[in-house]
Amino acid sequence: MLMNTKIRVIVIIIFAAFLITALHFSLIAKKPVSTDSGHRLVMGTFARIVAVAADSSTANKCIEAAFAEIEKVDELMSDYRSDSQICQVNRDGFGRAVKVSQSTYEVLQRAVAFSKLTGGAFDVTVGPLVDLFRSAEKNQVAPSEDQIAQARSKVGFEKLKLDDQNRTVKFAVDGMRLDLGGIAKGYAVDKAIEVMQTSGAIGGMVDLGGDIRCFGAPPRGKDKWLIGLQDPNINKDVGEYNLLLTLELVDGAVATSGDYRQFVLIEGKRHSHIINRNAGTSAEDLSSVTIIADNATDADALATAVNVMGAQKGLALIEKIPSAEGILISSPPNFELLKTSNAEKYIK
């Protein structure tokens, strides 16, 4: 009888050990995996997507769905694609009201809201001035004051007519042109994040040319998503950039805008790709503006606006916006680092 009891105890111990071992390997098998897309060219820039999911198949599915969503935004809003809705509005918007998709209309509504918030520092109708400076770069002849004045007369969000009921867009002035370069990338990032969340990702990061948004669980071994911020003080001899600082995010977005990477060179002088509609010239007070916000659309538009507004007015604006912080770097030769009151909590 005693022997049978011992045998039963041994069997129970062995069975328990088996269960513990099986549970251990089951937990290991169920640990989330992280998949990195590497860099791909989309929307005229390089994009990288990281997906964290239960398995690699789900992670890959999330990545491909996210890229497909970015492509959709590009097809609708690129001013380089002749068949995009934005190009159609630019061609026909003065003669008639042009009906657009819900996504395009949503971006235009948000753009107008930011234009009002920033007093026109952000303005998606800046297209005529952008075209003027592109042409000047091609011909290597700086635009004259008369040319700038003529382009400025066609710029102004106040001249953009949106019809909410019919979802149409119309221009009040002939020659107006939309340029969504300061908001469309951020919107594409937000749409990519949305589709990743609905496709099974428990965490993810989308980086579209410096417009970045993260959510959920970071890759294994990390408790937060880490975003590197480049020092705009380029080493001109070797063309290299140094890392200025690292940001830590859980759920949020970062957009960096400035003239240290994107600019036009006219008659040997650098001009920022960001245009000040009021002055009719490029924004030149800041080398870099980084905005931290809840979503990439807001961060993208604010980064553009603050570049135009300059440090003092820009910092004052960011301080008034809940859940937004900013890190600004002044123009050379000083490259002074300026921050909003709570930006430090994101710096590692």
What is the extent of the structural domain holding 139? 85-171
* Number of compact structural domains in the chain: 1
Q: Is 158 part of any domain? A: yes
pLDDT tens-digit series, residues 253-302: 999 987 655 555 554 455 455 777 776 566 667 888 999 999 999 999 99
Q: Is 242 part of any domain? A: no
Q: Is 118 part of any domain? A: yes
pLDDT tens-digit series, residues 6-55: 445 444 444 444 444 443 444 344 689 999 999 999 999 999 999 999 99
β-strand partners of 80? none
Contact between residue 198 and residue 66 where contact means Cβ atoms under 8 Å apart: no
Contact between residue 216 and residue 204 where contact means Cβ atoms under 8 Å apart: yes
Q: Is 263 part of any domain? A: no
Q: Is 110 part of any domain? A: yes
Instruction: Judge residue 50's burial from the number of C-beta atoms within 10 Å of its C-beta, 0-12 exposed, 13-18 middle, 19 or more buried.
Output: buried
Q: Is 51 part of any domain? A: no
Say if residue 93's pLDDT is above 50: yes
pTM for this entry: 0.86
Q: How far is CA 223 from CA 54, 197, 203, 250, 258, in A?
A: 17, 19, 11, 8, 30
- pLDDT of res. 263: 52
Q: Is 140 part of any domain? A: yes
For position 93, which CATH number holds?
1.10.3980.10
Q: Is 98 part of any domain? A: yes
